Structure 1
Amino acid sequence: MSRKTIVVLFGGVSVEHEVSLVSSKFIISNLDPSKFSLLPVLISKDGRWQRAVLDNWQEGHPPAVVPDSEIVPMLYGSPPGRFAEIVNGEIKEIFSVDAVFPVLHGTFGEDGSVQGLIDLMGVPCVGVDLLGSSLCIDKIVSKAILRDNGIPVVPFFGFSGTDWQNDKEAVLRRIEDEIGFPCFVKSSNLGSSVGVSRVNSPEAIAEAVEASFDFSERVIVERAVKNLREIEVSVIGNQDPQASVPGELVVEGGFYDYQKKYHDESTQFRIPCDLDPETQERVRTLALASYTALCCTGMARVDFLVDADTDQVFVSEINTIPGFTPISMYPKLWEASGLCVGEMLEMLVELAEQRHRMRRELRTDFSGSS
């Protein structure tokens, strides 16, 4: 059986560029070389696409790239799903690929931008598609959809930079009246806890809002769960998704911020978590309901906030390209559920191909008669 050619896209024009490097290295290391031939494409911080050289790739650093080269997706011609490598302005090679695996966290990667480009190429895209990605990346939009579907979320309030500049006092009054303290202030469309602040008093709220606007055009403020347990569930599938066992992040001294996620070894993982069986099943059910409500396909990680005193459960957010670092919960939860990393990655490629076949069966013309 011939190997499938998979483009792994990583890096990206995002504050989460470095996280993407770690995730992609883990994925590349775990894709079965007997089944997959890889075309690794590094997107630099200034947006240049180049073929990465995997030999001697050192942990914590970007890989080397082919000098003076660019990888260009081909949006026209036949067959579909081709990338051209251009060296010094000349086409050196054209690659026909079977699927693209975007490992791009945050802006211009997890927001539907790249997924739309891959759709235009006519090639399967691993993970959530354009619609689901664009819904999930925006915390204000996704929480509104979850709330309207009867899925519990904490009280929240979202506003734009224009709202803030036009009437800061009105925004601050709404935060104090509707959300209260303590609360969390977040950039609306970033992951990895970038642009997030915990605010315990009205005096600190304005500074936290300004800091979040450094990363995003809109900001969301959420009521804090005082006796917090952070629970996560991995989901995989298209029309009939499956949920993993729930896991818990045990964080010392505050919430699970960027430093604790990627640089602090004090965070502990309980997999599976020790919630009572009824609450565990409720969390898994809500994970699947959230996944469906936000039009997810392929994979996602659903994050929960649980009140330790009452066992009240709230959906926090859905990550459509969850972390794939060696300590990330998404692969760990599936391993605890009996699905090893290599099999899970192979399944994700198959799900992308399945969804692509279904879309190709849809009509693209309309004659006006049945």
Structure 2
Amino acid sequence: MNKLKVGWFFGGRATEHEVSVLTALQAFENINQSRYEIIPVYVSKKGDFYTNPKFLDLKNYKDVDSLLLSSTKITLGRKENQGGFFTQGLFGKFVTLDVAFLSFHGSFGEDGCMQGLLEMYQIPYTGFSVLSAGITMDKAISKAIFKELGLPVCNYLAVSRIDFLKNPKQVLEQAKKILKFPMFVKPATIGSSIGVNKAKDEDSLNFALEVAFTFAEKVLIEEAFENAIEVNCSALGYEEIKASVCEMPVGSTEVLSFEDKYQKGGGKGSKQGLRSDDLKGSGMASLSRIIPAPIPDKLTKQIQGATVKVFKALEGCGVARIDYFVNSAKDKFWINEINTPPGSFAFYLWEKSGVKFSKLVDMLIEFALKRTENQSKTQYTFESGLLSSMAQKGGINKFVSDEIKN
């Protein structure tokens, strides 16, 4: 039986570049090597594409510049009705890919850009589609969809960099009019808590906006919740969708920070460095968490139902994690945001739901191939005969002239 040729895509021109590398290497450590031929495709912080088996070993990232010098630059493309990539250089060749396994987080990878590129070359890929990925990457647009679905969201205000630079005082006044302090300020189109700050007054709000706008063109200002905890739930599937157990992440500060998410959990994910021989405890898996979340069964079921509802509405494929705020005393929850894909592919939630990491990877690849099979039933071109007709009538000007007369 021939192995499936899987392009292992990760990295990217994004603030979450390193998180993407961790997610990719975690999944690689848990893949069934007997079923797949893994071909790494690393996207540098400059946006260049490379391949090299060394990209699949964490210890090689001690000197990324040297690693890139020893790697081969590639260009995605298509040859003889097969998608894949061309290697650059004197002895360049074409390498076919059966499917692309995407582990991107952040800009130009998670947001539909990479998905669109793969669609152009007809390479099946894991995760959400071009449109769905673009929507879920924008927290403001996502919240608008959540509201349309009848799900509760926090009070918020979306602000563009253009408006803020044009009249920062007006933006501050608008925020104070609509929302109450304290407020959370976050870039609308990146994750991993990068650029997120809590504002307790006008001065700190102005500072938080300036910080957030260095990372995104759009920023969300959200009214903080009182007496609420964060609860996360994951969805998995393509034709049939199911929800995972719920978790309660535990942060060391009021804002669940980058360090909380990726550099906690003892030696495996600590600031002393990541162990290349054990990646399972790094990335989002290193975050301190309580599973299952300590909330009433009724709320758990409501959150799981909302998670599946959102996933279906966005025509999701693969795996996603949706984050909520919960006030158990008031028996209420509010949906916060969706992550596609979530850090570490939320394997820690699926293992608690009876799905091993290796099986999760298998399923993500299977969903990608099923979606491509479904897409193959769609006719994307149409033979209209328009160009031939125009040519026979003497060209574009003659054709337009005749159409005007008629």
1:332 maps to 348
Q: 308-317 vs 144-153, which deviates more?
A: 308-317
CA gap 1:338/1:60 in 2 versus in 1, 3 angstroms: farther
The 5 A counterparts of 1:40-79 are 40-54=40-54, 57-58=58-59, 61=62, 64-65=67-68, 67=70, 69-74=72-77, 76-79=78-81
The one-letter code sitting in structure 2 at the alignment partner of 1:156 is Y
Separation in structure 2 between the aligned mates of residue 228 and residue 44 of structure 1, nearest angstrom: 39
Number of matched pairs = 361
Question: 1:264: Cα distance to partner?
Answer: 3.0
**Counterparts of 2:60 and 2:192, CA distance in 1:** 19
* TM-score (structure 1 length as normaliser): 0.93
Question: Residue 296 of structure 1 aligns with which residue?
Answer: 316
- Are 2:89 and 1:92 aligned? no
1:361 match: 377
Which one is further off, 276-285 or 156-165? Answer: 156-165
Given candidates 303, 328, 335, the residue that maps to 1:315 is: 335
1:336 positional shift: 0.3
- Structure 1 match to 2:17: 17
The one-character-per-residue Cα deviations of 1:271-310 (angstroms, maximum 9, x if unpaired) are 1112111000000001111112233222211111112432
Q: 1:198 aligns to what SS in structure 2?
A: strand
Alpha carbons of structure 1 residues 32 and 345: separation in structure 2 relative to 1, 3 Å: same
User: Shift in Å at residue 223 of structure 1?
Assistant: 1.0
Does residue 350 (structure 1) correspond to residue 366 (structure 2)? The answer is: yes
Matched AA of 2:375: R
How far apart, in 2, do the equivalents of 1:59 and 1:123 lie?
A: 28
Which residue, out of 271, 276, 280, partners 2:291? 271
Q: CA deviation at 1:364?
A: 2.0
Shift of 1:59: 7.9
Give the unaligned 5+ runs of structure 1.
none
Amino acid at match of 2:186: K
- Counterpart position of 1:286: 306
Q: Is the 8 A contact 1:247 1:270 kept in 2?
A: yes
DSSP-derived class of the 1:219 partner: strand
Verify the 8 A CA contact 1:184 1:196 in the aligned structure 2: yes
3-state SS, counterpart of residue 152 of structure 1: coil
Deviation at 1:22, TM superposition (A): 1.0
Question: Can you list the C-alpha shifts for 1:337-364, whole angstroms capped at 9, x where unaligned?
Answer: 0000000100000000000010010122
Q: Is 1:132–1:295's contact at 8 Å kept on the other side of the alignment?
A: yes
Q: Is the 8 A contact 1:235 1:244 kept in 2?
A: yes
Q: Give the SS at the match of 1:19.
A: helix
Residues of 2 paired with 1:7 and 1:366: CA distance? 31
User: How far apart in 1 are the matches of 2:310 and 2:164?
Assistant: 30
Letter of the aligned partner of 1:58 in structure 2? K
- CA apart distance, 1:92: 2.5
Contact 1:248 1:270 in 2 (8 A): yes
Evaluate the alpha carbon distance shift between residue 59 and residue 365 of structure 1 in structure 2; reply closer, same or farther with a 3 A threshold: closer
Distance 2:202 2:7 in 1: 48
Cα RMSD, aligned residues only:
1.9
Q: Which consecutive unaligned segments of at least 5 residues does structure 2 have? A: 267-286, 385-406
Residues 134-283 of structure 1: matches in 2 within 5 Å?
134-265=134-265, 268-283=288-303
Q: Which amino acid aligns with 1:211?
A: V
**Inter-CA distance 182–71: structure 2 relative to 1 (3 Å threshold):** same
Alpha-carbon distance, 1:252 to partner: 3.0
Q: Structure 2: how far apart are the matches of 1:179 and 1:290?
A: 26
TM-score (norm 2): 0.85
Could you tell me how far apart the structure 2 residues matched to 1:152 and 1:265 are? 32
Q: Measured at CA, do residues 29 and 243 of structure 1 come closer, stay the same or move farther in structure 2, by a change above 3 Å? A: same
Query: Counterpart of 1:14 in 2: which secondary structure?
Result: coil
For the 8 Å contact 1:53–1:65, the answer to whether it is kept is no
Q: Is the 8 A contact 1:53 1:66 kept in 2?
A: no
More off after superposition, 346-355 vs 22-31: 22-31
